[in-house]
Structures are given as structure tokens and as C-alpha cells.
Amino acid sequence: MRTTAILLIVVLGVSIAHSEEERKFDTLTTKSGRTYTSVTVREKTKSGIKIFHESGAATIPFEELPDDVTKGLGGFDENAAKAEREAMAAREKALFEDERRVAQLQQANENRFASVLALIRKCESLNSTPLN
């Protein structure tokens, strides 16, 4: 009985949190003029919102949201948004550097393979040459 009560409280808590997070708009027009239709806000981040809309999905920075929408979503902290964007940029830069390093290592391995293959062919040609 106690387990059932705890489970019910957890499920209700998740449902309430989910319904508070999920907001719907028939249309949402950003400050720059982009219009989205049949909008469902799926996630509020420190720097904006992630939405599903009629044509797909998008992430909209808070600076692009109309003021009434920003207020309706509880506002946002400019410093937290900046910190999140900087962290994301650092992660993207690190990922780019990792991919560049992998490409360099792949190229080095291809060069080594080509050198070894050339040596094998040279040895094979020397072995097939008759000795006088």
C-alpha cells in the first residue's frame, strides 16, 4: 500500500511537471519575423526553448522570443544564457578538434599502410628476380 502511494505521488509529480513545461501556441512569431505554427514547447533551457512545430523542430534563443512569451515561460537569466552558450561553443570547439585529430591519425595510418605495402611489393620483386 505504501509503495503504491509513493508511486502515485511520483507519477502525479511527473505529470504536473510535464504539463507545466509543455506549452502550446497556434502560432509563434519571433522578434526577427520567423513564424512557427502548431507549436509545442518541449524544453526550456537556460538560453532558450526547444519546440516542435508543424514543419519539424527548432531551438529559439530567448532574445528572439516575444516579451509576452518570455514572461509566460518564467523569463530567463541573461548571464546563465551567456554561460550556457559559451559552454556549448567550447564543447563544439573540442568536438571539432577531436574530429580533426582523428582525421590526422587516419591519414597518418593510411600513409604508413602505403609505405608498408610499397616495401612488401619491393621485397616481392627482389625475391622474384633471378640471381646470376
CATH assignment of the domain containing 57: 2.30.30
User: 77 with 68: CB under 8 angstroms?
Assistant: no
pLDDT over threshold 80, residue 38: yes
Q: Are 97 and 57 in the same domain?
A: no
Phi, psi of 18 (to 5 degrees): -65, -45
pTM (predicted TM-score): 0.53
**Into how many domains does the chain fold?**
2
The domain in which residue 105 lies consists of 83-132
Q: Print burial letters for 83-92: b (CB count within 10 Å at least 16), e (below 16).
A: eeeeeeeeee
- Show the cell assigned to 132: 646470376
Q: Give how far the C-alpha of residue 42 lies from the chain's centroid of Cα atoms, to the nearest Å.
A: 15
Could you tell me if residue 127 is inside a domain? yes
Q: Are 90 and 63 in the same domain?
A: no
pLDDT digits (tens, 9 = 90+) for 53-110: 999 999 999 999 999 999 888 888 888 888 888 998 999 999 999 999 999 999 999 9
Q: Are 98 and 122 in the same domain?
A: yes
